[in-house]
Structure 1
Amino acid sequence: MATHLAFLRAINLGRNRKFPKADILRVVGEAGFTEAETHINTGNVRLNTSMRSIRRIEEALERAFLADRGFEVPTIVFRPSEFAEIVRVGAEVAAGNEGMTRHYVELLRDGMPPADARAAEALSSGDNRIVARGRAIHVLLGPDAQPGAAVPAAVARRIGTSTNRNFNVVRTIAHKWC
């Protein structure tokens, strides 16, 4: 059995997309995954499975979530080693950008082509740093950056299925589960 980390997108937003932790754990177990745990109620799940294909794991979870909830729950899955690398890069990026007050990580289902990653990074400005590596985009915002606009629209259109987490949450999950 291999451990994987799954990140659910757009749950517990408004009154129609509720997915409590207990229900997530129940559905994950019913779908055949074992030793599932959650971290806070934003769709961060650790699970074990004999499946090796990340895409197959994502598809199995999404089918189970849709059947239980009645709405789609896009899910992005990582191996612990890949997720730990996201945190290592994030710490390096943060250390090189003192003065930034917020750090978000956009977790991607698929990595960006190199040209798209370079184009995303070129959108960095004085109060906004973008670093695209593998299946993650680190966005650091300074004190004068507009709130709520972590990933610029020009980047969001190119990244496909993704979900966003605060870097502190990402780091905590890595220390807990990787």
Structure 2
Amino acid sequence: MTTTYVALLRGINVGGHRKLPMADLRALLTGLGHGAVRTHLQSGNAVFTSDSEDERGLAAGLERAIEERFGFTVDCLVRSAAYLSAVADACPFPAGELAGKQLHLICLSGPADPERFASLDPAGYLPEEFRLGDRALYLYAPDGLGRSKLGEALGRPAFFRGMTVTSRNWNTVTKLIEMAGATP
């Protein structure tokens, strides 16, 4: 059975470092045997199909291929389009009423364990807020992520030690779901 997936690469093409042109990423995914490969923006978002049902295996294969081809490591998360759509549907914030830059989805390689965030006092960051989801964290930052004190606090390694983490603004999340043919 063929499944549509979304690949989220962390930290490529930022400030001239770890350059990975999207045409090369498409060719790499196609070379790995994946079909219907498409990319979005220059920041490491790809949609593809595969007969595999192993998200971790697909991510690991892509990480190895990038390192072999480009000589640097890139953390990757792969999620089925259906899963990403379900995560969007579960958003606890009124996504349809917010600008895309105000809402962010932080994707995690493992469960969003509340214990990790116990030291964070949410009241100290209002009106910014976050909510935990399934292998995801939803971040509402009314002034955008670049000015977010909560986003900065969540960027501390202690919160996500041992996990692969990457974030996307809500515009990108909904565009990837649309590209994958899933319904947000």
TM-score (norm 1): 0.85
Counterpart position of 1:53: 54
What is the CA deviation profile of residues 17-53 of structure 1, one whole-angstrom value per residue up to 9, with x for unaligned ones?
A: 1111100001111122222111122111111112111
State percent identity of aligned pairs. 22
Give the root-mean-square deviation of aligned CA atoms. 2.9
| Counterpart-to-counterpart distance in 1, 2:177 and 2:147 | 26
Given the alignment of the two structures, is residue 139 of structure 1 paired with residue 139 of structure 2, yes or no? yes
The worse-fitting range, judged by mean Cα deviation, of 144-153 and 51-60 is 144-153
Counterpart position of 1:161: 164
Counterpart position of 1:110: 110
What is the CA deviation profile of residues 87-130 of structure 1, one whole-angstrom value per residue up to 9, with x for unaligned ones?
A: 1123x41369979971111111112224336x388535322100
Please state how far the C-alpha of 1:73 moved relative to its aligned partner.
1.1
Distance 1:69 1:122, change over 3 A: same
Superposition pairs of residues 1-178 of structure 1, within 5 angstroms: 1-90=2-91, 92-94=92-94, 102-116=102-116, 119=118, 123=122, 125-143=125-143, 147=147, 149=149, 150=151, 152-153=153-154, 156-159=157-160, 160-177=163-180, 178=182
| Counterpart-to-counterpart distance in 1, 2:98 and 2:126 | 12
Residues 100 and 143, structure 1, Cα contact 8 Å, conserved in 2: no
Which amino acid letter does the alignment assign opposite residue 153 of structure 2? P
| Counterpart-to-counterpart distance in 2, 1:71 and 1:167 | 28
Which amino acid letter does the alignment assign opposite residue 168 of structure 1? N
The worse-fitting range, judged by mean Cα deviation, of 25-34 and 121-130 is 121-130
TM-score (norm 2): 0.82
Residues 129 and 139, structure 1, Cα contact 8 Å, conserved in 2: yes
Residue ranges of structure 2 left out of the alignment (5+ in a row): none
